[in-house]
């Protein structure tokens, strides 16, 4: 181990700065649901891997292709082998994020998907947000320091120029493994000052942070959590239309990335 003060920290920081000045080459788009993923697969004419990069037996699916000079990889966790539904939630998200980074070494991760929004924080159906920070709302560990670990607050990669060019809304994202919201979850979400809630973002952020890969979070609102309609009903009712809004915005993000370095975002 290098001793403190020998310049190793400065060298590491310089390497990071230099990396951020290089054009973005490889991106990974992580999307939990097939309905959300397929419009982007079609738009960018991505091809499904026939020989998976991932361990044998996992349901994860990689679509890949090239847009301008970008290597675009869209990863969908696939259908649960036992239940045949999309593998949503934090466990699948963290596993797929780790495996994707190991296999593809991306310059940037985009976690895209739908989310619930809070009208009290200015969210409306079909709004698309870029998350400024992400945290968990269902990991309650009421022990000093463990409580902070449970919340797991992390900053998303800063993209002021992207926000400005695409006129994106910005808000804090709170993540949990349930579609509905219990009273305890609600209290935690309020404490997180969240505008939107999902089931994957903070898990992606956790892995990306450990492996030092920049990550951004693009979330489109399907349901108003503090509204008067049942969450599941409103989610299903709006999913198709909101997925179209998500597709358009993520496409604009990819176009923007094709012209920029990380330091220009």
Residue 5 pLDDT more than 60? no
Query: When comparing pLDDT for 14 and 53, which is higher?
Result: 53
pLDDT (average), residues 4-18: 60
12 is a catalytic site residue: no
Distance CA 74, CA 91 (A): 18
Residue 216 pLDDT more than 90? yes
| Phi-psi domain of 48 (left: phi exceeds 0; alpha: psi -120 through 50; beta: other) | beta
223 is a catalytic site residue: yes
pTM of the model: 0.91
Distance CA 60, CA 53 (A): 10
In this prediction, residue 1 carries a pLDDT of 41
pLDDT band at residue 7, thresholds of 50, 70 and 90?
Answer: low
pLDDT band at residue 169, thresholds of 50, 70 and 90?
Answer: very high
Distance CA 112, CA 223 (A): 16
Distance CA 69, CA 235 (A): 36
Task: Convert the pLDDT of each residue in 128-143 to its tens digit.
Answer: 999 999 999 999 999 9
Q: What share of the chain in percent tops pLDDT 70? A: 93
Residue 8 pLDDT more than 90? no
Task: Convert the pLDDT of each residue in 41-76 to its tens digit.
Answer: 999 999 999 889 999 999 999 999 999 999 999 999
Task: Convert the pLDDT of each residue in 104-133 to its tens digit.
Answer: 999 999 999 999 999 999 999 999 999 999
| 209: nearest Cα among 98, 115, 70, 114 | 98
Q: Which of 107, 223, 234, 247 is catalytic?
A: 223
In this prediction, residue 224 carries a pLDDT of 95
Q: Evaluate whether 112 touches 28 at the Cβ level (below 8 Å).
A: no
Residue 240 pLDDT more than 70? yes
Q: Which of 36, 86, 127, 247 is catalytic?
A: 36
Residue 263 pLDDT more than 80? yes
In this prediction, residue 2 carries a pLDDT of 43
pLDDT (average), residues 171-196: 96
């Amino acid at each position: 181990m290098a001793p403190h003060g020998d310049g190793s920290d400065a060298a590491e920081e310089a390497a990071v700065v230099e990396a951020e000045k290089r054009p973005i080459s490889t991106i990974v788009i992580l999307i939990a649901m097939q309905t959300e993923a397929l419009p982007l697969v079609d738009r960018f004419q991505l091809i499904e891997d026939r020989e998976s990069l991932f361990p044998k037996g996992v349901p994860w699916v990689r679509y890949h292709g090239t847009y301008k000079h970008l290597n675009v990889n869209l990863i969908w966790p696939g259908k649960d082998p036992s239940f045949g539904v999309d593998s949503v939630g934090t466990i699948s998200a963290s596993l797929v994020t780790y495996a994707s980074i190991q296999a593809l070494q991306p310059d940037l991760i985009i976690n895209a998907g739908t989310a619930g929004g809070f009208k009290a924080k200015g969210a409306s159906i079909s709004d698309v947000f870029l998350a400024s920070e992400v945290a968990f709302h269902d990991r309650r560990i009421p022990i000093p320091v463990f409580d902070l670990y449970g919340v797991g607050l992390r900053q998303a990669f800063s993209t002021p120029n992207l926000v400005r060019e695409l006129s994106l809304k910005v808000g804090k994202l709170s993540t949990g493994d349930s579609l509905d919201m219990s009273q305890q979850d609600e209290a935690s979400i309020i404490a997180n000052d969240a505008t939107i809630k999902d089931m994957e973002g903070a898990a992606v952020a956790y892995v990306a942070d450990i492996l030092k890969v920049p990550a951004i979070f693009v979330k489109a609102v399907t349901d108003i959590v503090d509204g008067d309609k049942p969450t599941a009903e409103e989610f299903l009712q709006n999913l198709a239309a909101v997925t179209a809004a998500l597709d358009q915005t993520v496409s604009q993000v990819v176009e923007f990335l094709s012209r920029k370095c990380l330091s220009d975002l």
